[in-house]
A = this chain, B = another copy of it.
Amino acid sequence: MDFAFDRDTEELRERLLAFMDEYVYPAEPVLQEQLAAREDPWSAAPVVRELQARARERGLWNLFLAGHPEHGGLTNLAYAPLAEITGRSPRLGPAALNCAAPDTGNMEVLAMFGTPEQQERWLAPLLDAEIRSAFAMTEPAVASSDATNVETAIVRDGDEYVVNGRKWFITGALDPRCAVFIVMGKTDPGADRHRQQSMILVPRDTPGLTVVRGMTVYGYADDDHGGHAEVVFEDVRVPAENLVGGEGEGFAIAQARLGPGRIHHCMRLIGMAERALELTCRRVLERTAFGRPLADQGVVREWIARSRVEIEQLRLLVLKTAWLMDTVGNRGAHTEIQAIKIATPRTVEGILDRAIQAHGAAGVSQDLPLAGWLAGARSLRLADGPDEVHLRSLGRAELRKYA
């Protein structure tokens, strides 16, 4: 047992920390200005592309793609501490390194299950950040936490599949650069529960595909990274070779896609929590009320201490999960992958809430990123199924040890 990062990881961490200091943090106000000034309310800010160029030069590119060192991918354990660092500037850091969701999960799917043709057409430009992509699974009409509820139909018709259905909270889909959707639907509603679903690639400009609107999360459109779209598929026809994997493999692919994404999300949330704690410390040292700095008053030090203790525990749990995925595989790490999903968003939400409270009215406003981060953490208590579903599943697994 060894809690130190290895030398390569330390080197990469330092390189990335320097990159954050030199490029990313200074780009934060630039991002705000560019977003305010753009014409298309869903277009990306030019500064992102500039950061991407700098990151690629420094070898900080596609690091998330575990199992594919040829593209720069690290192991889950090696990438995790870097994901944390990018989370300190969540609107710029991950995108700068081409490590932003949902493209990361989509690249994983294509790298694992895509045909050479699919990889050439979609994976290659994604790896180069030339296009973006979306993952269309959640549906408004049903509880998507139960994957067997999916109602979107993918029906074979000659050399084509015809897609019909309605999806929402499709992150990134409103970004004009979003070129392709991976769509989850049912090819065989009569098959076994977990063999009914398939995944298929639908280019964005396919007739019948309509992006209806952007959904907001606590008032945020998340318009800097393509929002969360409601999308309708009406008799959308794509060639049969657009299927990812075989018919009936949709559920298995979705499961495979989940693990690494959880690590990324959770580590980024931890980075966010670290930055919020830093902002809090600076604020309470400098802000004065009733004749003393806030740092010397009431519960403030307790808050800071609790946040520190919580962060340390979360980080260790997520790192251990990454290590398990690398050593025994995603399936062997199933319980831990659920555990980090249960523990991280909720705990970080609490840390961010205390940070906001320490900042007063500024904390809830657009002048600080805290409220937006909290909305992001909050929505992760629902994404991939509400926490309660995972709690019950994890509880059942624990009970099985004694049944």
Seen from chain A, the residues whose Cβ lies within 8 Å of a Cβ on chain B are 1-6, 9, 77, 138, 140, 143-146, 149, 168-169, 215-221, 277-278, 281-282, 284-285, 287-290, 294-295, 297-306, 308-309, 312-314, 316-317, 319-320, 323-324, 327, 335-336, 339, 342-343, 356-357, 360-367, 371-372, 374-375, 378-379, 381-383, 386-396, 398-399, 401-403
Contact = CB atoms under 8 A, between A and B. Distances in A.
Given A289-B146, A313-B314, A399-B281, A323 B2 contact: yes
Given A1-B3, A281-B402, A319-B1, A366 B313 contact: no
B298 A301 contact: yes
B289 A388 contact: no
A374 B25 CA distance: 30
B388 A364 contact: no
Contact of A320 (B146, B299, B305, B316): B316
Contacts of A140: 362
A29 B297 CA distance: 39
Instruction: Please name the 5 residue pairs, one residue from A and one from B, whose CB atoms are nearest each other, closest first.
Output: A219-B219, A301-B395, A143-B289, A316-B316, A219-B220
A365 B215 contact: yes
B312 A317 contact: yes
Contacts of A323: 1-3
6 contacts: A1-B9, A2-B323, A219-B375, A308-B395, A361-B383, A364-B379
Contact of A375 (B144, B218, B302, B342): B218
Interface of A is mostly: helix
A295 B399 contact: yes
Contacts of A305: 342, 390-395, 398
B145 A388 contact: no
Contact of A395 (B303, B357, B360, B390): B303
Nearest to A316: B316
B290 A312 contact: no
For A324, A327, A360, A364, the residue with the greatest tally of chain B CB atoms inside 10 Å of its CB is A364
A3 B320 contact: yes
B392 A301 contact: yes
A218 B372 CA distance: 6
A339 B312 contact: yes
Contacts of A324: 3
Contacts of A284: 399
